[in-house]
Amino acid sequence: MVKFLKRFYLSLIFVFLYAPILVLIVYSFNESKSRGHWGGFTLKWYGELFRDRDIIKALYYTFLVALLSSIISTVIGTFSAIGIHNFGIFGKNIALNINYLPVLNPDIVTGVALMTLFISMNMRLGFLTMLISHTVFNIPYVILSVLPKLKQMNKHMTEAALDLGATPSYALRKVIIPEIMPGVITGALIAFTLSIDDFVISFFNTGSGVTNLSILVYSMAKRGVKPSINALTTLMLLTVVILLLLINRRTTKGDELIP
Amino acid sequence: MKNKVKYLAYPYMVWMAIFIVIPLLLVLFYSLTAGNINDPSSLSFSVNSYTRVFDVMYLKVIWKSFKLAIISTVFCLVLGYPVALIISTVKAKYKSILLMFFLVPIWMNFLLRTYAWMAILSPNGFLNRVLTLLGLPTLSIMPGQTAVVLGMIYNFLPFMVLPIYTSLSKIDRNVLEAAMDLGANNLITFLKVILPLTVPGIVSGITMVFMPAVSTFVISQLLGGGKELLIGNLIEQQFTVQRDWHFGSALSIILMVMILISMAVMSKVDTDNGDGGAPIW
């Protein structure tokens, strides 16, 4: 009985989570353009999706910004974490608290604060400002996922490497970096997903025709959505499921991927 | 070595100063001045933007933001805790797959998820279509507060479940067996052992749901149809439509301070409980 109730409850929650997505998937095969009316099965929205220049451009910027900002923030974040780890208590506290601000602050505050900075510096809002703002909110997450690995590391390992004649940079490359690699990878993944999914910060810090997927959906949702967005949802769900299944099979402990 | 390694973080200290500290100081500066933002010489000190907030109209908006965010957080907790509990008790081989399917929706774009609810709830959307087919009267949930709360619960539920699940999976099985051996039944074990041990997870879950919910402007804009203004919408309007940076900045500072206060209170609950292990009731 309890088992049945558990299953029933879990199924209800899963229905709640997936029903909206399933509705969009059904609509993506709907011949009729209006949402409430079923006009027969079609694949034409999938064709239209790949011909729609706005969508393709938004996808391109979404991935470009996510890729660049996650690479930059992983590099800066990893080195900064190593540096901060070696700060005195006072310096470490200050650095970590400031680093924590973009995580604690609501996105909208981070977004408008950066916008006032860029406009005050007379920078034109566009690709560069969007890339910078994504890097600003990504680095703290990389640092926060690398620092625990540095704490776990045996302190004497670096000293041993140095005593055995390694130069500091050799010790960094051959001892420290490999030790903290899992944290670095987690950080990079978090940065990439946050960047792909971001709307609020991008919304305030982009312009000159540069949009990402979220901004495109937002402006469409206010005006009226093209059915090709439904097709995009279907393809995205498929990609996410396939990626997660692959990762799940490789690691067999899915817990690692939870940010 | 130790001293030299420190230098690795110095570039980031400069970066933080420019992109984290200065922008927030700028917001604080604009919130405390009045005048034309394009002409620095016209700016003068003024608390006018803060006093404007005490207009009944704006106070109502702030109150509504908190009300809707609290309602959604409570729903997420009540709906999410059992989910975390159930997932933590299934067999290991199903656990990761269940968790994965729980995560799939949050890997989808946040705007698409919200838009999906528009497709369901809008006046001629999926739900009303089904109701009409069944010969039932149609509902007008969207635009409205119910739709906004529903959108918040949908978008933020996983952020409640994950931290609670994490603290559940950290509980030592022996502790539960000890409780049972000492005569506690399932309910007592849950109330006296499991629940107190998961308080850290509950606290971080509440923070992770409440914070984005209280500051959102997307969900209220799309599912509230522009009629259900929240503090996030006010801020957004000041910066994009009204171009009143002074008032927008004052609202941002107020939002920030209120969130920091609620988080300080929450972390107090967390540490108070963690220190002595005293039950919260």
What percentage of residues in chain B have a pLDDT greater than 70?
Answer: 95
In tens, the pLDDT along A86-101 reads 888 899 999 999 999 9
Report the alpha-carbon distance of residue B33 to residue B41 in Å, rounded: 11
Comparing CB atoms, the residue among B27, B87, B222 nearest residue A112 is B27
User: Does A18 contact B128 at a Cβ distance shorter than 8 Å?
Assistant: no
In tens, the pLDDT along A204-237 reads 999 888 899 899 988 888 877 778 888 888 888 8
In B, residues 150-189, which contact A (CB 8 Å cutoff)?
154, 157, 162, 166, 169
Residue B281 or residue A243, greater confidence:
A243
User: Does A139 contact B15 at a Cβ distance shorter than 8 Å?
Assistant: yes
pLDDT at position A254:
42
CB pairs under 8 A between A and B: 232
Question: What are the beta bridge partners of residue A41?
Answer: A30
Q: What is the mean pLDDT of residues A138-153?
A: 92
Let me know if residue B183 belongs to a domain.
yes
pLDDT at position B276:
42
Let me know if residue B267 belongs to a domain.
yes
Do the beta carbons of residue B218 and residue B21 sit within 8 Å? no
Let me know if residue B111 belongs to a domain.
yes
User: Does A17 contact B7 at a Cβ distance shorter than 8 Å?
Assistant: no
pLDDT level of residue A256 (50, 70, 90 thresholds) = very low
pLDDT at position A43:
84
Q: What is the mean pLDDT of residues B116-125?
A: 84
Q: How would you classify residue B84: left for phi > 0, otherwise alpha for psi between -120 and 50, otherwise beta?
A: alpha
For residue A56 the two structure tokens come to 């393709």
Q: What is the mean pLDDT of residues B239-251?
A: 91
The CA-based angle A251-A78-A125, given to 5 degrees, is 105
CATH number at residue B179: 1.10.3720.10
| pLDDT of residue B281 exceeding 60 | no
Report the alpha-carbon distance of residue A183 to residue A103 in Å, rounded: 18
Count up the domains in chain B and report the number. Answer: 1
Q: What value of ipTM does the predicted structure carry?
A: 0.86
Name the residue among A175, A77, A151 with its Cα closest to residue B9: A77
Q: Residue B153 sits in which domain range?
A: 56-276
For residue B40 the two structure tokens come to 């620095």
Comparing CB atoms, the residue among A95, A98, A240 nearest residue B107 is A240
Let me know if residue B2 belongs to a domain.
no
**Chain A residue numbers touching B119 (CB-CB < 8 A):** 20, 23-24, 27, 35
B277: helix, strand or coil: coil
User: Does A117 contact B128 at a Cβ distance shorter than 8 Å?
Assistant: no
Q: Which of B171-185, B249-263, B267-281 has the lowest mean pLDDT?
A: B267-281
In tens, the pLDDT along B131-189 reads 888 888 888 877 889 999 999 999 999 999 999 999 998 888 888 888 888 888 888 88
> Can you state the angle between helices B56-89 and B92-107, rounded to 10 degrees?
150
The CA-based angle B188-B156-A45, given to 5 degrees, is 140
Say what the pTM is. 0.87
pLDDT at position A113:
96
In tens, the pLDDT along A169-181 reads 888 888 888 889 9
DSSP structure class, residue B229 = -
For residue B139 the two structure tokens come to 């509902």
pLDDT level of residue A47 (50, 70, 90 thresholds) = confident
For residue B135 the two structure tokens come to 């010969």
pLDDT level of residue A138 (50, 70, 90 thresholds) = very high
Q: What is the mean pLDDT of residues A115-142?
A: 94
Let me know if residue B23 belongs to a domain.
no
Closest-CA distance of chain A to residue B161, Å? 12
In tens, the pLDDT along B187-208 reads 888 888 889 999 999 999 999 9
Question: What are the beta bridge partners of residue B45?
Answer: B33
Do the beta carbons of residue B274 and residue B200 sit within 8 Å? yes
User: Does B119 contact A20 at a Cβ distance shorter than 8 Å?
Assistant: yes
What does pLDDT average to over chain A? 87
Do the beta carbons of residue B160 and residue B76 sit within 8 Å? yes
Domains along chain A?
54-227 (1.10.3720.10)
Let me know if residue B41 belongs to a domain.
no
Terminal Cα-to-Cα distance of chain A (whole angstroms): 35
pLDDT at position A133:
96
User: Does B86 contact A76 at a Cβ distance shorter than 8 Å?
Assistant: no
Let me know if residue B9 belongs to a domain.
no
Alpha helices in chain B (DSSP H): 2-6, 10-16, 22-31, 48-53, 56-89, 92-107, 110-121, 126-133, 145-169, 173-181, 186-189, 195-197, 199-215, 218-223, 231-240, 245-276
Let me know if residue B236 belongs to a domain.
yes
**Chain B residue numbers touching A89 (CB-CB < 8 A):** none
Phi, psi of B95 (to 5 degrees): -55, -50
Report the alpha-carbon distance of residue A111 to residue A198 in Å, rounded: 11
Q: 3-class secondary structure for A218-242?
A: HHHHHHCCCCHHHHHHHHHHHHHHH
pLDDT at position B277:
41
